[in-house]
Amino acid sequence: MSSLNSPSEFPQAPGLDPAISAALKRDDAGLVAAVVQQHDTGEVLMLGWMDDEALHRTLTTGRVTFWSRSRQEYWRKGDTSGHVQWVKSVALDCDGDALLVRVDQVGAACHTGTHTCFDGRDLPVLTQQAS
């Protein structure tokens, strides 16, 4: 695979607004976490990773693009599955280290075929009563 597909090769995407790029706080691999949420219900669908190029593609195409850490390449949600994510809005958190991508999800969001990546994965939590 070409090293040009590596996120480290895209410290700033040519088309990404320099102010947006400067506001991003990336991890050691040059990535920012992107939480994907259904725009009308608020349901959290999945978590993906973006570098400047993936964010630029997401902001300019209307479709969500991620950097695949396992495949080491860009991937656009729905290209092979048909389960497209249409971008409604993108917000940067207060620290600049996470994105909230609000989408209109078509089909399953999770690669397992479930609606969200969090279906049936609840962990036991000790709850405290408010006083």
Rounded to two decimals, what is the model's pTM? 0.83
97 is in an annotated binding site: yes
Residue 19 contacts residue 30 (beta carbons within 8 Å): no
The pLDDT confidence band at residue 120, using thresholds 50, 70 and 90, is confident
79 is in an annotated binding site: no
93 is in an annotated binding site: yes
Residue 50 contacts residue 58 (beta carbons within 8 Å): yes
**b vs e for 35-66, b when ≥16 Cβ sit within 10 Å of the residue's Cβ?**
bbbbeeeeeebbebbbbbbbbbbbbeeebbbb
Percent of the chain past pLDDT 90, that is, above it, reads 71
52 is in an annotated binding site: no
Mean pLDDT of 81-86: 94
Residue 106 contacts residue 82 (beta carbons within 8 Å): yes
